[in-house]
């Protein structure tokens, strides 16, 4: 996929309200996408969030951040809160609908759905945790997340007064605006309480989750992070001395992240990368093991075939010790995640088959089975096997090879 960096793109969120998102896919993309969920009285361009985006794209992750549809901003004025009526109509249910709309943006923006990682700050952390059963989400990192939606609402006489009046106001300490909260927000919660039960989603979660909280958070006390971690049966990563926004502010005029937020990003990238190196190495060994299988389909491994394997191993960055494993161990099959990589592997298999200048029926049977196992279209692989005779060593030019597979897409 080519490098992409778009800002302020439109999507349609809850109640058919238009909002904005940014998508940044770096040149050396690792095939993984982070979706960032902002918090209460927040937005995608608040404070340091653009610098956070830069941090993760420099680590080769794609990064998508968006404004929830009823955060109080507009398409024309996405910074701060020019539409207080929309803010008053917001609800947690609407924010879940917004996230589902953003997933549709992802599906439309990528040829294949990438591994999705969530970062949710504050209220956005709670919404992220409510996606713990989403099969597209590989890992979640919460930054100063709320532990309960129910606890966000007034109780007792204050709740009765809210119902009677229909709205209450909370001052934004920075803009000094009186931010309305319509009683419909509470009604939406009551109607969807099971879907909005953060505790139950955490207790039932099998999605690896990192819980980070600032030691001196006065907006969402660290006790909420401790509760989340207890439900998930994990630990809290505490950022010593840090506040709710990890020492970032709006506006943020420095070109660098504050140290506390930079530390949060470091913990998060380490968590997202954890076990990824082993998975990537296993995939490479699986590719090499496939090549060995083709080479040995008609006879024992020949010297020129071994030399070819050695070249491919070096290109993949496989160490000599790891290379030896493909001859000593049974390597579990792990196909490449992306179709372009699977097609590249099919071309390697063709080259391996041609090295000894002799192609037997057993090799053809084997390579067809491998193509099917990699999820490649059988009609396309058969077409490639026909066309390979028109080229030296079966080396079909990459553009023609891709064209054959594209022509046979289901």
pLDDT-wise least confident of 10-24, 174-188, 195-209, 350-364: 350-364
Same domain? 172 vs 321: no
The whole domain housing 137 covers: 4-274
More confident residue, 73 or 315: 73
Same domain? 250 vs 293: no
Decide: 215 and 244 in contact? Cβ < 8 Å.
no
pLDDT at 409 over 80: no
d(CA 320, CA 251): 51
pLDDT at 259 over 80: yes
Same domain? 83 vs 222: yes
Same domain? 317 vs 236: no
Provide long-range contacts, Cβ within 8 A and 24+ apart, for 220-227: 220/122, 220/144, 220/145, 220/146, 220/244, 224/145, 224/146, 224/147, 224/148, 225/142, 225/144, 225/145, 225/147, 227/147, 227/148, 227/199
Identify the band that residue 286 occupies on the pLDDT scale cut at 50, 70 and 90.
confident
d(CA 344, CA 346): 5
pLDDT at 141 over 80: yes
pLDDT at 278 over 70: no
pLDDT at 128 over 80: yes
Q: At what angle do helices 339-354 and 398-407 cross, to 10 degrees?
A: 120
Of 240, 274, 308, the last residue of a domain is 274
d(CA 220, CA 198): 15
Same domain? 24 vs 74: yes
Same domain? 385 vs 247: no
Decide: 215 and 260 in contact? Cβ < 8 Å.
no
More confident residue, 360 or 137: 137
Summarize pLDDT for 387-397 with one digit per residue, the tens.
Answer: 888 887 667 88
Could you tell me where the DSSP H helices lie in 317-397? 320-328, 339-354, 361-373, 378-387
Same domain? 315 vs 232: no
pLDDT at 23 over 90: yes
d(CA 365, CA 342): 18
How many C-beta atoms lie closer than 10 Å to residue 259's C-beta? 13
Q: List Cα–Cα distances, 244 to 48, 62, 123, 204, 390, in angstroms.
A: 13, 25, 11, 27, 64
Residue 376 has a pLDDT of 82
What would the mean pLDDT of 400-404 be, rounded to a whole number?
85
More confident residue, 349 or 42: 42
Reference 125, options 37, 201, 202; nearest CA is: 37
d(CA 281, CA 318): 8
Of 274, 297, 323, the last residue of a domain is 274
More confident residue, 14 or 339: 14
pLDDT at 219 over 60: yes
Of 230, 254, 274, the last residue of a domain is 274
More confident residue, 200 or 356: 200
Summarize pLDDT for 43-64 with one digit per residue, the tens.
Answer: 999 999 999 999 999 999 999 9
What would the mean pLDDT of 328-349 be, rounded to a whole number?
79
Same domain? 256 vs 285: no
Same domain? 152 vs 222: yes
Same domain? 58 vs 138: yes
Residue 410 has a pLDDT of 47
What would the mean pLDDT of 345-368 be, rounded to a whole number?
80
The values of phi and psi at residue 251, to 5°, are: -80, 160
Contacts of residue 100, defined as CB under 8 A and 6 or more positions apart, other chains included, come to: none
Reference 245, options 81, 96, 52, 74; nearest CA is: 52
In the chain, the number of structural domains is 2
CATH of the domain at 72: 3.40.50.1820
Same domain? 259 vs 312: no
Decide: 183 and 162 in contact? Cβ < 8 Å.
yes
Same domain? 166 vs 284: no
More confident residue, 263 or 338: 263
């Amino acid at each position: 996929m080519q490098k992409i960096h778009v800002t302020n793109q439109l999507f349609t969120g809850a109640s058919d309200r238009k909002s904005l998102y940014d998508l940044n896919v770096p040149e050396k993309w690792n095939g993984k996408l982070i979706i960032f969920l902002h918090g209460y009285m927040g937005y995608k361009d608040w404070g340091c969030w653009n610098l956070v985006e830069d941090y993760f794209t420099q680590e080769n992750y794609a990064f998508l951040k968006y404004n929830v549809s009823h955060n109080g901003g507009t398409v024309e004025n996405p910074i701060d809160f020019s539409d207080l009526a929309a803010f008053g109509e917001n609800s947690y249910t609407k924010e879940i609908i917004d996230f589902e709309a953003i997933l549709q943006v992802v599906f439309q923006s990528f040829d294949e759905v990438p591994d999705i990682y969530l970062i949710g700050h504050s209220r956005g952390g709670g919404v992220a945790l409510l996606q713990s059963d989403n099969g597209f989400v590989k890992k979640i990192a919460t930054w100063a997340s709320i532990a309960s939606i129910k606890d966000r609402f007034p109780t007792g006489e204050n709740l009765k007064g809210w119902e009677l009046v229909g709205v209450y106001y909370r001052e934004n300490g920075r803009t000094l605006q009186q931010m309305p909260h319509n009683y419909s927000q509470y009604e939406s919660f009551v109607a969807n309480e099971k879907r909005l039960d953060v505790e139950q989603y955490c207790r039932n979660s099998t999605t690896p989750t990192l819980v980070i909280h600032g030691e001196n958070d006065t907006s969402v006390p660290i006790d909420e992070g401790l509760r989340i971690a207890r439900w998930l049966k994990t630990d809290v990563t505490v950022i010593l001395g840090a506040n709710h926004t990890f020492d970032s502010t709006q506006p943020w005029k420095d070109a660098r992240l504050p140290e506390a937020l930079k530390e949060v990003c470091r913990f998060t990238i380490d968590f997202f990368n954890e076990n990824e190196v082993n998975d990537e190495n296993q995939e490479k060994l699986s590719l090499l093991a496939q090549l060995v299988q083709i080479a040995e389909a008609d006879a024992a491994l020949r010297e020129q075939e071994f030399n070819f394997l050695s070249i491919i191993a070096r290109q993949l960055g496989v160490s000599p010790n790891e290379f030896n494993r493909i001859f000593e161990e049974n390597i579990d099959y792990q196909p490449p995640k992306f179709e372009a990589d699977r097609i590249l592997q099919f071309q390697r298999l063709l080259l391996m088959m041609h090295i000894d200048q002799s192609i037997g029926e057993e090799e053809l049977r084997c390579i067809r089975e491998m193509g099917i196992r990699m999820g490649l279209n059988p009609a396309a692989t058969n077409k490639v096997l026909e066309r390979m005779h028109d080229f030296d060593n079966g080396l079909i030019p990459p553009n023609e090879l891709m064209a054959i597979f594209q022509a046979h897409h289901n």
